[in-house]
Structure 1
Amino acid sequence: MARPAKPLLSREAILHAALAQLDATGTLALPALARELGVSTSSLYHHVKGGREEVIEGIRGLLSVSAMLSDRRPGETWRDFTARWATSYRAAYAAHPAVVPLMTAQTVAHPATLASYETLAQVLHDAGFGDQDLLHVMTVLDSFILGSALDAGAPVEVWADSGDPDSALSRARGATLAQPGDRSERAFRLGLESLLAGLEDLRR
């Protein structure tokens, strides 16, 4: 019997299928992934020898290559670059919020992701953030961005209406729902500007 013209399975196909599984179910299970691809679980390990952890890191790489920045525009300030970096990063993960808990559970190792973080680190270093603060600054940014990406997958109405006309929360809820556009996106913009302003004070 002749071999198929193209391989039935590839690392890239596995990663894309795993990302689709996460989007659809919120979980990553290699046996279920193998069934969906029509292969045995052992066949998956031929392409991703590190198993589940390698698949997760591969998904991180997919999102990094498609969205995380590793270039700085000529004359771009550290705040402008960081805002652009954060916005792009958040958009990639907001489209796939189920991946966020998996990404935070293991060490970042994908070369494309590390290259993006290296660019951010260099921009921040050049802006005057010292080595003793730099990793903490990046962690704060990372935590905010990933939290905002999770919020993008939250219900439109995050807080229930108590029905109490004197409730500050209920009034704020109503006012927010009346605003045009995406609540999570507006919250992200507010948080990012506030965070960058606070980091500016730290830099001084």
Structure 2
Amino acid sequence: MTTAPDAHRSAGRPRTAVLSRERILEAAFTLADVRGGDFTLAALARNLDVRPSALHHYFAGKDELIAGMRGQLTTRVGDHGFDARPWHEAIVPWARAYRQTFGAHPGIIAALATLPVDDEPESIIDYERIAAAMSRDGYPVHRIVPAIVAIESFVIGSALDSLAPEDNLRPVDNAELAPNLTRAEAAARENAAAQRHSAVTETFEFGLAALIAGLLAAGATG
């Protein structure tokens, strides 16, 4: 009796995980965390043990892949109640979540930040929430986009700053050249400790509050 060629094929899951959009994005984040935003689709395909052409069934090219990565991170940031809360209140937890989510993948931040929003619907939806809340609350329409960009720029910078040493501005070998900076830097770290925050987090919270207050004041003058 002749045995069929696949009669002894093992049952259960295939040896190689099935390729999917989610699996590609997960692998892209892992690769970008190591190599930054200049990774290639060929390198990503090698990590996934597939041919580069297999990736094109899901993403037309690297720009579309980067857009997918940003979309996934934007979804993780969440809504935070812009439809029900004043924009300047909802923007605080949004900014915190944005900083934490994007800061988890610093190698790809530059590529994400320079991506045109039209390439990726999740960000359009996210920005629309904020713009709608600001418009509803009477913020000058010509100031809405500059305000959003200012907040996002601060958050992205803060995400990168979180990677630096907490005493990054502390003069050590040349403290005598900057007595005021030395004193101010020590006071900032002492204040952060008193608030039970890291110096980086306390700086972020102070900067965010100051930025929002400034934007509210600027919006009130038109």
CA distance change for structure 1 residues 36 and 126 in 2, over 3 Å: closer, same or farther? same
> 1:203 deviation in Å?
2.3
Tell me the TM-score normalized by structure 2.
0.81
For residues 59-109 of structure 1, what are the alpha-carbon distances to aligned partners after superposition, in whole Å with 9 as ceiling and x for unaligned? 1011111113264364x2222112122222122112222221001222013
User: Hey, what does 2:3 align to over in structure 1?
Assistant: none
1:39 counterpart (50, 54, 63): 50
Q: Can you give the 5+ residue segments of structure 1 that lack an aligned partner in the other structure? A: none
CA distance in 2, matches of 1:173, 1:184: 12
Q: Which amino acid aligns with 1:17?
A: A
Residue 189 in structure 1 maps to residue 205 in structure 2: yes
Maintained 8 Å contact 1:70/1:119: no
User: Hey, what does 1:29 align to over in structure 2?
Assistant: 40
Maintained 8 Å contact 2:71/2:120: yes
For residues 102-148 of structure 1, what are the alpha-carbon distances to aligned partners after superposition, in whole Å with 9 as ceiling and x for unaligned? 01222013222211110100111112122211111111111111111
CA distance change for structure 1 residues 44 and 154 in 2, over 3 Å: closer, same or farther? same
1:134 counterpart (131, 144, 165): 144
Q: Which amino acid aligns with 1:167?
A: P
Residue 55 in structure 1 maps to residue 65 in structure 2: yes
> 1:175 deviation in Å?
3.6
User: Hey, what does 1:91 align to over in structure 2?
Assistant: 100
Residue 171 in structure 1 maps to residue 183 in structure 2: yes
CA distance in 2, matches of 1:145, 1:116: 15
Maintained 8 Å contact 2:95/2:155: yes
How many residues are aligned here?
Answer: 202
Q: Percent identity?
A: 31
User: Hey, what does 2:130 align to over in structure 1?
Assistant: 120
> 1:167 deviation in Å?
2.2
Maintained 8 Å contact 2:68/2:120: yes
> 1:4 deviation in Å?
4.4
> 1:39 deviation in Å?
1.0
CA distance in 2, matches of 1:89, 1:98: 15
SS at match of 2:175: coil
CA distance in 1, matches of 2:50, 2:87: 48
Q: Which amino acid aligns with 2:40?
A: A
Q: Can you give the 5+ residue segments of structure 2 that lack an aligned partner in the other structure? A: 1-5
Maintained 8 Å contact 2:66/2:111: yes
Maintained 8 Å contact 1:71/1:119: no
SS at match of 1:154: coil
